[in-house]
Amino acid sequence: RAEEGQDVCLEVETGRVGAAGAVRWLRAGEPLPHDSRMSMAQDGHVYRLFIHGVVLADQGTYSCESHHDRTLARLSVRRECLVLC
C-alpha cells in the first residue's frame, strides 16, 4: 500500500543469477508502459522495480516473471490526505 506521491519499490529474489533483463515486470499481465517514473535494477539475485511518485493509475497487480518463476503483488494507492485525517 502506498499514498499518492510516495516512491514504491517492488523487490523479488530469484534462486539464480541471470543476465540483466532475465526477468520482466508486468502490470495486469501487460508489459509496463514507458514511463520515466519507473526504473528497474538488479543486484545479484535481487531484482527491483521502482515507481517514483505513485499515482492512482499505478495501482493494480504487478508480476515479475523469469524463465523459472513468476510472482505477483497487488499495489493499492490511497489519495494523499491534504487535511488532518
Kindly list the domain boundaries of the chain, sorted by start residue.
2-78
Q: Does domain 2-78 have CATH number 3.40.50.970?
A: no
Q: According to the model, what pLDDT value does residue 16 have?
A: 67
d(C-alpha 27, C-alpha 45), whole Å = 21
What predicted TM-score, i.e. pTM, was given to this entire model?
A: 0.84
- Cell matching residue 44: 545479484
Q: Which residues contact 2 (CB under 8 A, 6 or more apart)?
A: 8, 54, 75, 76, 77, 78
Give the mean pLDDT per block of 10 residues along the chain (85 residues): 95 74 88 92 91 96 89 92 63
CB 9 within 8 A of CB 45: no
Q: According to the model, what pLDDT value does residue 15 have?
A: 77
Q: According to the model, what pLDDT value does residue 67 have?
A: 80
Q: According to the model, what pLDDT value does residue 34 have?
A: 87
